[in-house]
Amino acid sequence: MPLITTAFDATSTAADVVAGHDLTGTRAVVTGGGSGIGTETVRALASAGAEVTIAVRDPEQGNAAAQDVVGTTGNTTVRVARLDLLDLDSVAAFVADWAGPLHLLVNNAGVMALPQLTLTDRGWETQFATNHLGHFALTTGLHDALAAAEGARIVSVSSTGHLRSPVVFDDIHFAHREYDPWSAYGQSKTANVLLAVEATRRWADDGVVANALMPGGIMTNLQRHVSQDVIDGWERAQREGTVTFKTPEQGAATTLVAAVAPEFATGGHYLEDCAEARTVGDDEQTRSGVRAWALDPDHARRLWEVSEEHLAQRPDAD
């Protein structure tokens, strides 16, 4: 089947995508909405009339972003709630505090390329725990609110980093293999796509679908752990024309396409540059596209089950 395209492309902004959309009555949550493409996602949604909750670890940062968005959009229904994806009690508290339907959940927050292996207090590799398991707990916890919306979407912000690694089910947390920052990041980003695939399979009958996306190369706070040598290499590649960076406003555009474009109402898609990405072979050397391993339904089902097992390891779980 031909790939799904839209009227937008790599140069489009989030404002371009939501132009003409009336999201009045839409209730949205954006994790990591206090900075970068998260804030621009919040701004675009608010500009179209949505009620948006910025879910952030640092409420002070979230409040600053909310004030900025209210000032530029005039929409006063932008609120802030604390959410620490590494703290499952924080995730549970966020879920417990949510009341009523939820039309749009944007799993945007993340961490990239921690230089050393860092484990949580439950022994989980931090990138996988933050980028996937925290969002998995949030997403499954909000299922009933999403189903109550009768037509909800989940948006899972992934990355071309997923091209580097599948989910290594036999050693997710690097107990037996050498830690590599980019492999760890890659498997967490593959997990983001697989979550969208399986959530759509499980929940489409409930009126809930999910899409995943690559926002593009954008220099934001996400790169705070990346070495200066790597940053220098990216900037050199940009000057040479082999890499193109987007603005945060352009980066948020693909998020908004995944969230509101009618072309992606069926869910289970991986987007880049505001369109469906082509599937690439596991050995193909590329900086674009989606690996087959990230769309594999068997991997998606297995990851869901493994994720449930992880959450059941909580000390207060029965």
- 179 has catalytic annotation: no
Nearest alpha-carbon partner for 40 in 216, 244, 256: 256
Q: Which residues face 55 on adjacent strands?
A: 31, 81
Is residue 212 classed exposed, middle or buried when 0-12, 13-18 and 19+ CB atoms within 10 A define those classes? buried
Backbone angles phi, psi at 202, to 5 degrees: -75, -35
Contacts (Cβ under 8 Å, ≥6 apart) of 154: 104, 105, 106, 107, 139, 146, 196, 199, 208, 209, 210, 211
- Per-residue exposure over 162-199, b if at least 16 CB sit within 10 Å of its own CB, e if not: bbbbbbbeeebbbeeeeeebebbbbbbbbbbbbbbbbb
Distance CA 273, CA 267 (A): 17
Task: Give the active site residue among 128, 185, 264, 270.
Answer: 185
> Measuring CA to CA, how many Å separate 35 from each of 55, 67, 138, 234?
11, 12, 20, 21
The token duo for 306 is 């493994």
Task: Give the integer Cα–Cα distance in Å for 170 and 177.
Answer: 10
The total number of residues shown for the chain amounts to 318
Give yes or no for a contact between 80 and 67, defined as CB atoms under 8 angstroms apart: no
- Do residues 130 and 109 make contact, with C-beta atoms less than 8 angstroms apart? yes
Greatest C-alpha distance within the chain = 56
| Residue 175: both structure tokens together | 């107990």
**Catalytic residue IDs:** 185
